[in-house]
Chains A and B, each alone.
Chain A
Amino acid sequence: MTAMIPGKTSAEPVQARASVAPHSGATDTTDTVGEISVRGLKKTFVRAGGLHVAAVDDVSLDVAPGEVVVLLGPSGCGKTTLLRCIAGLETPTSGTVQISGRVVYSGESNVRVPPEQRRVSMMFQSYALWPHMTVSENVAYPLKAQRIPRAERGAMVSRALERVGIAELADQYPNQLSGGQQQRVALARCLVVRPSVVLFDEPLSNVDAKVREQLRLELIEMQRELQYSAIYVTHDQEEAMQIAHRIAVMKAGRVVQIGTCEEIYTTPATRYVANFVGSVNELPGILSKVGSTSVVRAAIGQVQVASERISRHAKSSESVVAYIRPEDVRLTEDTGNPTNVNEWVGTVSTVMFLGAHTEYVVAVGGCRLRVWDGSRRNWKEGSRVRVTLPPESVGVLPPEDLPVEESAA
C-alpha cells in the first residue's frame, strides 16, 4: 500500500507483528522497515501504590518516507506517550524504535539515543516558543544547535519564515503574536532544518476553529511539498481524516486498527473504532445463515448482510452487532407494507437540520435509527417513512472489542 524503503533490518531479529485489522488490507511489514519503525514498544508507569500501568502496550508501527500516520484516540489512550517515546523524551520499557534506518532505542540491546541526537523535529501542543528570543532567534536555534555556519543560517531562517507566511514578524517576541502566528513560528522552527521526520503533538488543539482549519490545510500542503514523514497525534477524527495517509486508532495503549482513512471508516475492525471514527447505528443480534445469505436476527427483524462485510471474528449463530452509518440508511415515501429485504416502516421522531444534511431519528419497531439525509425532502416529525438498510452497507462485528493479539493476522 505504501512505498517501503529497502529492508534495513535491525541487529536483532525483531518479532514483527503487524497490529493491523484482519480485513484492512494492510501490507505485511515483516521484512521492510519504514522511515520510522516501531516494534513491540511498551511503556509502563508505576503509579503510587506500586500499580504498573501500561501507557503504551506492545505497539508496532511503520511510517514510510513521505507518509503521514495519525495516532487517533481519546485522551489517555497513550498516543502522546507513544510519540514522546519515538522522540526520545520518554524512555520506553521495552521494544525497538528505528528512525531513518538507525536504531535509536532498543530495550534488548540497551540502545538509548538521546532526543538531541535523533534528528527529528517536533511540534508541541503548547507551541513551546522561547519567550526570551525573537521569532527569528527561535527559528535559528535548531540551526545553531546543529552548527550550521552563520552565513547559511540567515537565508534558511528567512526562507522558513516565508514558507509559513510570517516573514514580517521576524523581530517580534512570541508574546506579541496571536495564537495562529505563534503556531506558524513553531512550524517554521520545525521545518527550518529540512527534517525527514516530523512529530506533531496535537499542534492545533490550542487555536480557535477557523484558524485551525486554515493551518490544517497549510500543514497538508507543506507536507506534500517537503515530503517529510510525520506522525501526528490528535483526538479529533475529522482532523485525522484530513491529514492522514493512514490512521492508527489507539485504545488503552494499543493500536486497535491501522489503515487508510477509507479503510478505517468503511471497515472498522471493532465496535470501538466504528464508534470513535464517525457515527453508527448498532443493531445487536444473532448471526445466522438463511440459505446462502447471511442475516442478523436483531430486535428490528432480520437484517440481511453482504458476506464480505462480516468480520472474521463474528461467529455464526453467536451474538454479533450489525452496524450501519447514518448516511447509508435510505429514507423513502411510505407506500404500504414493505416487501423487499431490509425494509421497514418507521416514524420520524426528531428532525435536525444541519445544513449539508438533515439528521432524522426514526423509530422502527423498538429501535431508534439515526439517518443523515441530504435529499432535502424534509419529512416532518411524526410522519411515516420507509427505511432501507442496503445489505452492502451493513457491517457485522463481534460484540466485544477483542484484544489485539487475537485480531492480528
Chain B
Amino acid sequence: MTSYLPKMRGLGQLELLGERWRRAAFWRGRHISVFSVIATLLGALLAALVVYPLVVMCVRVFAPDGELSLSAFRQVANDPAMPTILRDTTIVLGTSTLLALAIGLLFAWCNERSDARMGWASRVLPLTPLLLPPIALSVGWLFLADERAGYLNVVLRRLMKMVGIERETGPINITSWWGMIFVYTLWLVPFAYLILSAALRNIDPALEEASRINGAGPIQTALKVSLPAIRPAIVSATLSMLVSGIAVFSIGRTIGVNARVRVLSVHIVSLVQSYPSQLDEAVVLGLLVLVVVGTLWLAQRRVSTRARHATIGGKASSHSIVALGPWRWVARSAMIVYLAATSVLPILGLVLVALQPFWTPRVDWRGLSFENFGRLLGSGSFARSALKTSLTLGVTGATAGMIVAAIIAVYARQGGARRAVVVDAITKAPGAISHVVVGVAFIVALAGAPFNLHGTVLILFLAYLVIYMPQAAIAAGSASDQVGRDLYEASVICGAKMGRTFGRIALPLMLPGLAAGWALLFVVMAGDLTASALLAGTKNPVVGFVFLDIYENGTYSMVAAMGTIMGLISTLVVAIVMAVARPRFGVGGVLG
C-alpha cells in the first residue's frame, strides 16, 4: 500500500489516509463508548492541569531567556536565611511526626485491639482535621496558651496561686518551639491513626491468638507480633505525615511567626508575596519540596504495594481483644483529652475571643456580644463576599471533583491493570506536589498571558481541583471498590451502555462513599489557605485569604470570629453529610 502513496493526488490521498486511520490496529473492531471518551478526556484534562503549569514553571526557572540558567539556584544557595529555614523545618516536622506516630499507634491499638475501644471516638478521630481547619486550630491554641493572655494559662496560674506559686506569665507558651511542635503533632495524629487503625483491623487475629496460646503476654504480643505485622503501614503513615506536614502553611504562618520558627512553606509564600516578587527563588524551593516529597511518595508507594500483600484478611474477633484493666480508663481519657485538644478547646478559645471587643485574659462575661460577627459579615464587607466565594467554590469544586473522580474510578475498574496504573498516577500525582508548589506553578503558568486568569475565581477552582484530586480519587476509589465487580458486569451483560451502567448502577451504589468524599472536599476547598494565599487577591477574595489578611492587619477578635465561622461551617457540613449519607444497603462508606 505504501508504494502507491506517492502516486496519489489530492482527495485520493486524503481518502487513503482516512482509510489507514480507520484500519489502524488500535481502532479496528473496537467499539468506542461515549463514556470512555468522556473519561479519557477528563483524565487528559486533569493530567494537563497538573503537568502544564509545572513544565512552564520549570522552563521559567531553568531557561528564563531560552537559555539554560542556574542563577535562581545560586540565589537560593546564597540566601543567608536558607540554612535556618531548612533546619527549623526539619526539627519541627521530624519531632512532630515521631510524636504523632507514637500517639496514633497507641490510639489505633487501644481502639482496635483493646477493651478501651470507643466506637464513636474511632469514627471521629480521623475526622478532626476536617472539623477544625488547621488555621482555626492554631489560632484557637494561640488564644488558649499564649504566654500572657492565654485562657488556659489564666486558669493554670489561678490553680498554682492556690498552692502558693505566683507568676505573671506561663506556665505554657504556645509561641515557642514546643508550642509549634505541639500543634503540628495535634494536626498530624489523624493521618497516622487512619492508616494504622485500618492495618490493625485487617491483620489476621489468628496471628495474635497463636502468640497468646504460645505463652506470650498481651504487651509482648503487641510488640512482637502486631507491630511487625503492620510495619508497612507504619512506614506508610510516617511518609504520609511528612508529605502532609511539609505542605501545611497555616501553623507556621500563625504560631511559627510569633515563635520565630521559620518553616519552608511559609518562606515560599512570603517570597511570592514580597515586593518585588522573588518568584524564581520560590520556584526553586518549590522544586526542592517536589523532589523531597516525590521521593518520599515513591517510597511510600513501594511500601504500600507490598503492604497489600502482607496484610491478610480476617475480621477481628472478640478473642484477640486485650483487657487493659485499670489502664482502660487511662487510655480512654487520653483519647478524650486529645479529641478535646483538637476540637472543643480551640473552638472555646475562638468563641470566647470572638465574643469580646478585644482579646483580654480578664473576660467581662456581661460584655460578650456578637458584634464582631456583625461587623465581619456586614453587608458589603470584604469577608462577606469572601465567604460567599469560598462556599460557592466549596460546593462547585467538591461536586466537580467528586464527579470527575467517580467517572475516572469506574472507568479505571472496567479496564485492565495497565489502565488502573495510569489513572492512579494521574489522579494521585498531585498528592506528591506540595500545595505551595501548585500555587506557584499556577501563578507562573496561568495567571499571565495567554490565559490571564490572575485574580479570577476560575484559577482558584482549577487549582483546588488539582490540589485536592488525590483525596477525591481515594474516596471515589474506595467507594467504587465497595461495589462488587459483578454488579457492573451484570448491567453490561444486560446490554446497558457504559453511561447507563455508570448512572444507574455505579453512581447510586457509590453514593454514600461519594458523599463522604464530597464533605471532605468541601471542607478543604472552602477552607483552603495555601493556594488561596498565593492565588487569591482583592478581586477574588476567599476565606483563607481574608483570614490571613485579618490576622496581619485586623484585631484578634475579628480573627476569632472568622475562625469560629470556618469551624462552624466545617463541622456542620461534615456532620450533616455523615448523618445523611449512611449506607442504606450494606455497602459502607468510609471517609478516607
A residues with a Cβ closer than 8 A to B are 87-89, 106, 109-117, 119-122, 124-126, 128-132, 141-142, 144-146, 173, 175, 189, 193
Q: Are A110 and B585 neighbours in the complex by a CB distance under 8 Å?
A: no
Question: Is A145 touching B31 in the complex (CB atoms < 8 A)?
Answer: no
**In whole Å, how far is B491's beta carbon from the nearest beta carbon of chain A?**
7
CB distance from A121 to the nearest CB of B (A): 7
Interface residue B219 (Cβ < 8 Å from any Cβ of A): no
| Cα of A173 to Cα of B585 in the assembled complex, Å | 9
- The minimal Cβ–Cβ distance linking B258 to chain A, given in whole angstroms, is 53
Least Cβ–Cβ distance between A88 and chain B, in angstroms: 8
What is the total of A-B residue contacts with beta carbons within 8 Å?
89
Contacts of A121 in B (CB 8 A): 493-494
In the complex the two chains form, is A175's CB within 8 Å of B585's CB?
yes
> Could you say which residues of chain A place their CB within 8 Å of the CB of B492?
88-89, 114-116
Chain B contacts for A110, CB-based, 8 A: 25, 28-30
The reply to whether A145 and B494 form a contact with Cβ atoms under 8 Å apart is yes
On whether the beta carbons of B29 and A89 are closer than 8 Å, the reply is no
B56 interface contact, C-beta 8 A: no
Interface residue tally for chain B (C-beta within 8 Å): 28
Q: Could you write out 8 A-B pairs with CB less than 8 Å apart?
A: A89-B492, A89-B493, A110-B28, A110-B30, A112-B31, A116-B495, A122-B493, A146-B494
A89 to B505, CA, bound (A): 17
What chain A residues lie within 8 Å of B28 (beta carbons)? 109-111
**Chain B residue contacts of A131, Cβ below 8 A:** 509, 585-587
CB-based contact B586/A116 at 8 Å:
no
B487 proximal to A (CB < 8 A): yes
Min CB distance A128 to B, Å, is 4
The distance from the CB of A117 to the nearest CB of chain B, in whole angstroms, is: 7
Q: What B residues does A173 contact at CB under 8 A?
A: 585
8 A-B pairs with the lowest CB-CB distances in the bound complex, closest first:
A142-B494, A131-B585, A145-B496, A128-B490, A128-B486, A111-B29, A110-B28, A110-B29
Contact between B489 and A114 (Cβ–Cβ < 8 Å)? no
Task: Give the residue name and chain of the B residue nearest to A131 (CB).
Answer: B585
CB distance from B287 to the nearest CB of A (A): 34
- The distance in angstroms between the C-alpha atoms of A175 and B586, with both chains bound, is 9
Q: Do B484 and A130 have beta carbons less than 8 Å apart?
A: no
Bound Cα distance A117, B30 (Å): 12
Is A132 in contact with B484, judged by CB distance below 8 angstroms?
no
Out of B29, B31, B494, B585, which one reaches A141, CB within 8 Å?
B494
- Residues A128 and B484 in contact, CB atoms below 8 Å apart: yes
C-alpha gap A110/B585 in the complex (Å)? 41
> Given A111-B29, A131-B509, are A126 and B587 also a contact pair (CB < 8 Å)?
no
Inter-chain contacts of A125 with B (CB < 8 A): 486
Nearest CB on B from A55, distance (A) = 14
Contact A126 B29 (CB under 8 A): no
Query: Which residue from chain B places its CB closest to the CB of A114 in the assembled complex?
Result: B31
Q: Give the distance in Å from the alpha carbon of A173 to the alpha carbon of B25 in the complex.
A: 45
B508 interfacial by beta-carbon distance below 8 Å: yes
**Least distance between A125 CB and chain B CB atoms (Å):** 8
A contact residues around B30 at 8 Å (CB)? 110, 112
Q: Are A115 and B493 in contact (CB under 8 A)?
A: yes
**Measured CA separation A63–B489 after assembly (Å):** 23
Provide the bound-state CA to CA distance between A129 and B587, in Å. 13
Q: Which residues of B pack against A, CB within 8 Å? A: 25, 28-31, 33, 484, 486-487, 489-498, 500, 504-505, 508-509, 584-587
A124 touches B490 (CB 8 A): yes
Report yes or no: A142 in contact with B509, Cβ–Cβ below 8 A: no
Quote the shortest CB–CB distance from B487 to chain A (angstroms).
5
**Closest Cβ of chain A: how far from B39's Cβ, in Å?**
15
Q: Are A116 and B496 in contact (CB under 8 A)?
A: yes
Docked complex Cα distance between A128 and B505 (Å): 11
**Quick one: given A114-B33, A128-B490, A131-B586, are A119 and B495 in contact (CB under 8 Å)?**
yes
- Interfacial chain A residues near B495, Cβ < 8 Å: 116-117, 119, 142, 145-146, 193
Q: Which A residues touch B29, using CB under 8 A?
A: 106, 109-113
With a cutoff of 8 Å between Cβ atoms, the chain B residues found around residue A116 in the complex are 492-498
B56 to chain A, nearest CB (A): 38
Supply 7 further A-B pairs (C-beta < 8 A) apart from A126-B484, A128-B484, A146-B494. Answer: A87-B493, A109-B29, A125-B486, A128-B487, A131-B585, A141-B491, A141-B494
| Closest A residue to B309 using CB positions | A48
Kindly list chain B residues whose C-beta atoms are within 8 Å of the C-beta of A128: 484, 486-487, 489-490
Q: How far is the CA of A120 from the CA of B489 in the complex (A)?
A: 12
Chain A residue at minimal CB-CB distance from B507: A132
Q: Which one of A88, A114, A126, A146 has the highest number of Cβ atoms from chain B below 10 Å of its Cβ? A: A114
Assess whether A189 is in contact with B494, with CB atoms less than 8 Å apart. yes
A130 to B496, CA, bound (A): 14
Partner of A130, one of B33, B487, B498, B584: B487
- The docked-state distance in angstroms from the alpha carbon of A29 to that of B33 is 35
Instruction: Provide the residues of chain A in CB contact with B486, threshold 8 Å.
Output: 124-126, 128
Contact B494 A124 (CB under 8 A): no
Question: Please, which residues of chain A bring their CB within 8 A of the CB of B504?
Answer: 141
Complex: how many Å from CA A132 to CA B587?
10
Residues of A within 8 Å of B584, CB to CB, are 132
A107–chain B nearest beta-carbon distance, Å: 10
* Contact A120/B493 with A114-B33, A128-B484, A132-B509 known, Cβ cut-off 8 Å: yes
Residue of B nearest to A145 (CB): B496
Most buried by A among B491, B495, B587: B495
B415 to chain A, nearest CB (A): 10
